Structure 1
Amino acid sequence: MLRDQLNEALKEAMRARDTNAVGTIRLILAKLKEVDIAARTEANREGVADDRILSMLQGMIKQRNESITLYEKGNRADLADKEKAEIDVIHRFLPKQMDEAAVEAAVKEAIASSGAKSIRDMGGIMAALKAKYAGQMDFAKASTAVKKMLG
């Protein structure tokens, strides 16, 4: 389970005195706790599933990429480098990312299986892709591919 991997990685980073990894993994675990609390109901006290954790990690990477862009515009290379280092740590917990050819093939398959004909069907295709490829696919690229194929 991904949650166990994160906790074990924190212990390993602490033993190795890798302050960058310790800080980043603690940020991940804090965000995970927020997501768990938000998803809690009376009936369900369990934490969120791995697919939700993968989506959360993707979101954290997206936030850091946006920060890097802003820091580079502001000539703050030191802060941009810190964000890049955090991204490297987060990537350790994500499955191997699909390349553009694999993304296009997955989009073609989703379009064929759903019988989509126009751009109005894009929401269903994106939902199917997110359910099947959470954490493995850059959904911004997938969205562009869907628009290209249906538009």
Structure 2
Amino acid sequence: MTTLKAKLKDDLTDAIRARDELRSATLRLTLAAVSMQEVAGTTARELSDDEVQKVIAREAKKRREAADAFSKGGRAEQAERELAEGALLDEYLPQQLSDDELGAIVAEAVAEAKAGGAEGPRAMGAVMKIVSPKVAGRAEGGRVAAAVKRLLAG
């Protein structure tokens, strides 16, 4: 068993013992998503820590999107719960890059792409190819794409 999955299971046990309903429900759903991913496809397999981390990131993103939908629908109480679950899952993810850190990485990649002959908005793909591995798991794709577009346009 991977160390991250083991940590999730240990934290679930602790949450159940502490009667922490929010944490135990969130961790149960996350472990279920990990298990679903493990049995998806033609053969069952155990996920690596990186793959478990991607599942957690996907679940956290689902919570943020659901919270947004609930708040637009006038269900503030449900939106708060979704946000709390998302924040709980963020504890298991690496620290997100600040806007300044992301901007510096993107600026460096834009300069590298321009040195390689890429120009203007058409350089987006080349820049994203350079930036994506550097920020993997530490910034959402939408944030990265927006930063790249800003620098290429300006």
Calculate the TM-score normalised by the size of structure 2: 0.81
Q: CA deviation at 1:75?
A: 1.4
Give me the whole-angstrom Cα distance separating, in 2, the residues matched to 1:57 and 1:112: 33
- Which structure ranks higher in relative contact order (CA pairs < 8 Å, sequence separation ≥ 6)? 1
Aligned to 1:106: 105
Partner of 1:61, secondary structure, is: helix
Aligned to 1:94: 93
Q: Which runs of 5+ in 1 are unaligned?
A: none
Does the Cα contact within 8 Å between 1:10 and 1:21 map onto a contact in 2? yes
Aligned to 1:79: 78
1:55 aligns with 2:54: yes
Shift in CA distance, 72/149, structure 1 to aligned 2, threshold 3 Å? same
Partner of 2:47, secondary structure, is: coil
Give me the whole-angstrom Cα distance separating, in 2, the residues matched to 1:110 and 1:40: 38
- Out of 15, 21, 24, the position equivalent to 2:23 is 21
1:129 aligns with 2:128: no
Q: Which of 1 and 2 has greater Rg?
A: 2
Q: CA RMSD in A?
A: 2.2
Q: Which runs of 5+ in 2 are unaligned?
A: none
Q: CA deviation at 1:35?
A: 1.7
Give me the whole-angstrom Cα distance separating, in 2, the residues matched to 1:64 and 1:103: 23
- Out of 133, 144, 147, the position equivalent to 1:145 is 147
- Output the amino acid matched with 1:95: P
Structure 1 stretches (4+) deviating beyond 4 angstroms? Answer: none
Q: CA deviation at 1:90?
A: 0.4
Shift in CA distance, 125/4, structure 1 to aligned 2, threshold 3 Å? farther
